[in-house]
Amino acid sequence: MSNDKPGSSKDSSYSERAQNKIKEKIENIVQSSKVPFQKLKKKWMNQEEEISKCKYIIVCGPKCSGKSTIIKQLIWYDNKLCNDEEKQLHTKNIRKYVLEIIFTLVDAMLRSTPTMTFDKPENENKLHYLKNYFYEFNCNYNYQFCNYVESIWLDKNVQKTFERKHELQLQENAGYFLDKIHDITRFDYLPTEEDILHYYTPTTTAAERCFKLDCSPVCITEIVNQDKIFFRKWARYFEDIKAIIFVAACDSYNVMSTTDTTKTKLQESMDLFCSVVSVVWFHYKDLILFLNKQDLLEEKILEGRYKFEDYFENFKNYRSSVDSLFSIESEPFEVLRVKHFIKNEFLKIAEAHRPELYAPIMYTHFSSAAKREKFNDILTSTVYIIMRCNRCTFGLL
Ligand SMILES: Nc1nc2c(ncn2[C@@H]2O[C@H](COP(=O)(O)OP(=O)(O)OP(=O)(O)O)[C@@H](O)[C@H]2O)c(=O)[nH]1
Ligand SMILES: [Mg+2]
């Protein structure tokens, strides 16, 4: 009967109330922390599982070599292609890009010596409209755009100027879009996947792209702003990666580097490749080398304007051990010689810098990453290699 004692009931109810309050408080804390903690724990466990299964891959190579294009193709693997809404987002940019190509061509035509003007004088007004109204007002589609752009492109003197495309500041894929100008200027134009692959958007930050590849998670990071010392400095941060993709643009054999004017961009790619394979961390990693832009390389070699031996002296005496292959493959002999020579140069660098003892596997692909069909087989085997790297990590192979 302690409750009957004076003050006791008060005290006891006080202590009871206090205790209950504390209990309640603790419960609240536990409750509030318990739920998210459990959720978090589940999430962590899931993440941990995902991450441990995840194939971290870095994609490196010189600027504009096709790194993002290859990543796009990998994301679209399994037919997870763009839907119409996503495609629509590219329409305006592609139209704007086509206009910029037209402006560059007209500019070059007007500056040429002897000076040229439009073959059809009425194109002058059309150009004026496109430059001062259409382009200025955000390139929203209208009837004039549809008629004027094609009319200017078909002007005899503009076409003549395009024959000098190598001398002009045009991107290599300008021809691809000009060939499709009739489709692009239609009101119902919806870019194809190949149009999206050909459209260039420079990558400015090293963003990680995580997606499912053949039902398994993959994280791919495109490395930006690389130079020769980049890998030596940062390589240890990539210690956990499972594989490296290196992309080189083979058609750049005649394009002089902007940073070292004694070298071509292809030679510069080889230097960069050398610094990648020299990194000790990477000696244990699988390496997938894409000798990219084969379609543009073939076009350039067959055109004959820029002889390969003028840029790589030892090409003259190149006798390939795969000479017998030349007769089986359907490509022109000279193109095959060039592409196998380039491959050989990269392999020599890898052999010299990746000690055989550690070096796992180096896979080499001749690729045309912006071509949907042509890239299909390579895509399948790349996915297989990525899966293989993963199974190796878990001792399944
Ligand atoms: N014709 C052709 N064009 C290609 C090929 N691969 C890439 N391209 C084009 O080359 C341009 C550059 O490709 P990206 O994939 O953006 O190159 P990148 O290496 O990511 O470039 P940065 O992000 O600026 O370093 C784009 O217009 C692509 O469409 C190819 O094999 N053939
Ligand atoms: Mg990129």
The reported pLDDT for the residue numbered 322 is: 54
Identify which of 145, 156, 130 has the alpha carbon closest to the alpha carbon of residue 182: 145
Distance of CA 222 from the midpoint of ligand 2 (Å): 7
Predicted pLDDT of residue 387: 75
Helix (H) or strand (E) holding 266: helix 265-278
What's the 197 CA to ligand 1 centre distance in angstroms? 8
Nearest CA to ligand 1 atom 23: 203
Q: Whose CA is nearest to atom 24 of ligand 1?
A: 202
72 Cα nearest atom in ligand 1: 15
pLDDT at 105: 96
In one letter, which amino acid is 29? I
**CA nearest ligand 1 atom 28, residue:** 198
Q: Kindly list the structural domains of the chain, giving each domain's residue range(s) and its CATH number in brackets, ordered by start.
A: 84-197 (1.10.400.10), 226-388 (3.40.50.300)
369 lines ligand 1 (CB under 6 A): yes
* Residue 180 CB partners (closer than 8 Å, separation 6+): 195
Of ligand 1's listed atoms, the one at least distance from the Cα of 222 is: 20
**pLDDT value of position 321:** 59
List the residue whose alpha carbon is closest to atom 27 of ligand 1: 200
Q: Which residues are annotated as a binding site for GTP?
A: 197-203, 292-295
Does ipTM surpass 0.95 in this model?
yes
Beta carbon of 226 within 6 Å of any ligand 1 atom? no
Question: What's the Cα-to-Cα distance from 356 to each of 275, 288, 345, 360, 364, rounded to whole Å?
Answer: 17, 16, 17, 8, 17
pLDDT tens digit string along 322-339?
555 555 567 888 899 999
DSSP 192: -
Distance 10 CA to ligand 1 centre (A): 81
Write out the two tokens for 236: 């240890």
pLDDT value at residue 291: 97
> Which atom of ligand 1 sits closest to the CA of residue 203?
23
Atom of ligand 1 nearest to the CA of 197: 29
Measured in Å, residue 316 CA sits from the centre of ligand 2 at 34
Q: How confident is the model at residue 52, as a pLDDT?
A: 47
DSSP, residue by residue, 322-340 = THHHHHHS-S-HHHHHHHH
354 lines ligand 1 (CB under 6 A): no
Pairing state of beta strands 208-213 and 216-222?
antiparallel
Residue nearest to atom 30 of ligand 1 (CA): 293
Please answer whether residues 149 and 102 qualify as being in contact, where contact means their C-beta atoms are separated by less than 8 angstroms: yes
Ligand 2 mean position, distance from CA 81 (Å)? 19
Tokens of 103: 């402006």
Full pLDDT tens readout for the chain, 397 residues: 334 333 344 444 544 555 565 556 545 544 554 445 455 445 444 544 444 455 688 999 999 999 999 999 988 887 667 788 888 889 989 998 999 999 999 999 999 988 899 999 999 999 998 888 777 666 677 778 878 999 999 999 999 999 998 888 899 999 999 999 999 989 899 999 999 999 999 998 877 888 887 777 788 889 886 766 676 667 667 777 888 999 999 999 999 998 888 999 999 999 999 988 888 878 878 899 999 999 999 999 999 999 999 999 999 888 765 555 555 567 888 899 999 999 999 999 998 887 765 556 789 999 999 998 888 888 888 888 877 765 554 443 3
For ligand 1, atom 32, which residue shows the shortest CA distance?
A: 293
Q: Phi then psi for 392, rounded to 5 degrees? A: -60, -40
Contact 203 CB / ligand 1 (< 6 Å): yes
Tell me which residue has tokens 């290859």. Answer: 70
Residue 82 makes CB contacts below 8 A (sequence gap 6+) with 76, 193, 196
**Whole-number Å distance between alpha carbons of 318 and 337:** 8
* Each residue's pLDDT tens digit, 102-129: 999 999 999 998 889 999 999 999 999 8
State if residue 68 touches ligand 1 by the CB under 6 angstroms criterion.
yes
- Atom of ligand 1 minimally distant from the CA of 294: 31
Ligand 2 centroid to residue 202 C-alpha, Å: 5
Neighbours of ion ligand 2 (CB under 5 A): 67-68, 203
Give the atom of ligand 1 at the shortest distance from the alpha carbon of 198.
Answer: 29
| Residue 205, ligand 1, Cβ within 6 A | no
For residue 116, the CA-to-ligand 1 centroid distance in Å is 33
Residue in this structure with the two tokens 């724990």, named with its chain if needed: 41
- For 200-221, give the DSSP string: -----S--EEEEEETTEEEEEE
Q: What is the DSSP letter of 42?
A: H
**pTM of structure:** 0.82
Separation between Cα atoms, residue 86 and residue 190, nearest integer Å: 10
Q: In whole angstroms, give the CA distance from residue 178 to residue 184.
A: 9
- My answer on whether omega of the bond before 114 falls inside 30° of 0, hence cis, is yes
